[in-house]
Amino acid sequence: MATLTLRYMQIVDIPQVVVIDNVSFDPAWSARSYAYEISESSYSHMVVLERTVEQPTPGWRRFFKNISGQREVRRQVVAYGGLWHISGEGHISTIATHPDWRGHGFGEIVLAGMVRRALTLDAEYVVLEVRVSNTIAQKLYQKYEFKTAAVKPRYYRNNNEDAYDMRLDLTDEAIIARFDQRFDHIKARHSFNDLYTDVKSTKKR
Ligand SMILES: CC(C)(COP(=O)(O)OP(=O)(O)OC[C@H]1O[C@@H](n2cnc3c(N)ncnc32)[C@H](O)[C@@H]1OP(=O)(O)O)[C@@H](O)C(=O)NCCC(=O)NCCS
């Protein structure tokens, strides 16, 4: 039986996050950047979605595990994201799902988790940049009512691609009501543990 947990990213997660980042982005962030975001930046609220599965223990080892009550568990970061909160603005700095787990609703949990976190931090809007060619990510953002506010010409240095600046207005009560409904819906669908959206980071601010 698998359990999903949405929680703050920790230093121990970095190797798994970097693997996902490397297959998702060009250029990718370095492990050092993640360490900075997790431990140093006072603006940053990095998040992971972790999938935990109890592993079957074979043969005689199972007997001893049963007596001691120990269980072997496999923990996997299936998706992650980054949110900066700077004076009223929530800025989504990154979001990705492990390629093996795309299409399972995990990116949506991470996005909705960051929007909910921005709301609990009293952000007035959430903004992000997305490549004009990245229609999959745009669909996800549109589902959450992000609107294209501007085009940033040649924003991406590796190929000079333009970015859409997409924004979600968190001062509009109707938008927040619909967001709350969607959040309740994905909580009911995936029943994940939420240790992020309403939890203060332990970092000094
Ligand atoms: C964008 C990304 C995070 C989506 O993650 P995911 O876990 O696969 O997405 P989900 O399964 O949660 O899908 C949520 C929504 O995204 C959109 N979506 C996801 N996959 C899609 C696809 N193949 N085609 C069209 N829309 C898609 C849909 O709106 C979907 O909602 P629906 O299921 O009700 O149709 C993932 O594709 C990814 O990691 N891409 C590479 C990194 C990246 O581009 N990040 C964004 C940078 S701006």
Model-wide pTM > 0.85: yes
The two beta strands, 89-97 and 125-131, are parallel
Query: What contacts 121, CB < 8 A, 6 or more positions away?
Result: 45, 85, 90
- Average pLDDT on 33-58 reads 93
Binning pLDDT at 50, 70 and 90, where does residue 161 land?
very high
pLDDT tens per residue, range 163-187: 999 999 999 999 999 999 999 999 9
Higher pLDDT residue, 32 or 202?
A: 32
pLDDT level of residue 201 (50, 70, 90 thresholds): confident
pLDDT value at 154 more than 80:
yes
- The CA 111 to ligand 1 mean position distance, Å, reads 10
Q: How does residue 72 score in pLDDT terms, banded at 50, 70 and 90? A: confident
* Torsion angles phi and psi, residue 121, rounded to 5: -90, 5
Residue 113, ligand 1, Cβ within 6 A: no
pLDDT band at 113 (very low <50, low <70, confident <90, very high): very high
Confidence of residue 204 (pLDDT cuts 50, 70, 90): low
Q: Which residue has the CA at smallest separation from atom 28 of ligand 1? A: 140
Please indicate whether residue 103, judged by its CB atom, sits closer than 6 Å to ligand 1: yes
Count other C-beta atoms under 10 Å from residue 128's C-beta: 22
Domains in the chain and their CATH numbers? 2-195 (3.40.630.30)
